[in-house]
Amino acid sequence: MADYGELKERVAIITGGGQGLGRAFALAFAAQGAIPVIADMNADRAESVAEEVRQMGGQALAVHTDVSDVKSVQDMADAVMRTFGRIDILINNAAIFSTLKMRPFYEIPIAEWNQVLDVNINGALHSARAVCRPMMEAGWGRIINVSSASVKEGRANYMHYTTSKSALIGMTRSMARELGSRGITVNALLPGATLTEVERETVSPAQMEQMVGRRCIPREETAGDLVGTVLFLASDAAAFLTGQCVTVDGGMTHS
C-alpha cells in the first residue's frame, strides 16, 4: 500500500464504519496515521473498531450515529469538533444493503423503499451538510461517496438500492461544483460485489461465481482492493480530481 504521510492526524469520519467496508476504511486510515471516527448505528461495533485502532497505537472515536436522523448526524459532527477541533475527510459509506431481500420492484414494500432511500441518500446529504462548514473554514476537505458498480448495469431485484446509489452519483457531481472553490473535493467510489465479514444471504455462491466470471481480473473482490483508491482520493495526490466516479470492480464494467 502506498504511503500517504500527509494523511497523518487528518480526522476522517467513516459512516457505517462498524463493519464491512467501513471497518476496512477506518483501519486503513489509522495505518496512515489518520484519526478515524467510526459513526455507526451499532454502538458496540463502532467501539470495537475504535479499539482495534487503539490496539494499533492510533487514535479513534466511536460515535453512535443514525445517518437518517439530522440531529444524530449533527450531534456526531459536533462531538468530533469538540474532541479534535477539525473534520478533514468524510466517507459516506453507511447504507442498507446486506439485509435486503432480492425481489421485483413491484413487490418491494413501500416502507422498505423509503427506509433505503432515507439512509442511503438522505444519510449522505445529512453527513455532508454537517461537515462541509468546518471544511470550508479550513479551506481543505475530502468527501467520498460510496456508490456501487451495480448502477452501471441496472442490477435487477435491488431497485431501491440501485436507485439510491445512482442518486449518489448526481449528488457527487453537483456537490463537487459547489465546493471546489472552497478547497473541497467530492468523488464517488463504485465498488463491485465485495466479500467482507458481513453475511449476505441473498447472494448465492452461484451468483458470485457468475459475477467473478465477468471480471477482467477473474477473482473475488475484497475490501483490500478498495482501500488504496479511498486513501488516494483522500490524499493531496488527488487534489485536482473532483466530481469523478471511480469504479473498482476488477473490470466487470467498463463505461
Domain regions of the chain by residue span: 5-248
Q: Is 20 left (phi over 0), alpha (psi -120 to 50) or beta?
A: left
Catalytic residue among 4, 106, 158, 161: 161
Mean pLDDT of 116-131: 98
Q: What is the pLDDT of residues 138-177, one digit of tens each?
A: 999 999 999 999 899 888 899 999 999 999 999 999 999 9
The percentage of residues in the chain with a pLDDT greater than 90, rounded to a whole number, is 82
CA distance 83 to 87: 10
Fold of 5-248: Rossmann fold (3.40.50)
Q: What is the pLDDT of residues 22-44, one digit of tens each?
A: 999 999 999 999 999 999 999 99
The lowest-confidence range among 86-95, 145-154, 161-170, 236-245 is 145-154
Query: Does 158 qualify as catalytic in the annotation?
Result: no
Q: Is 33 left (phi over 0), alpha (psi -120 to 50) or beta?
A: left
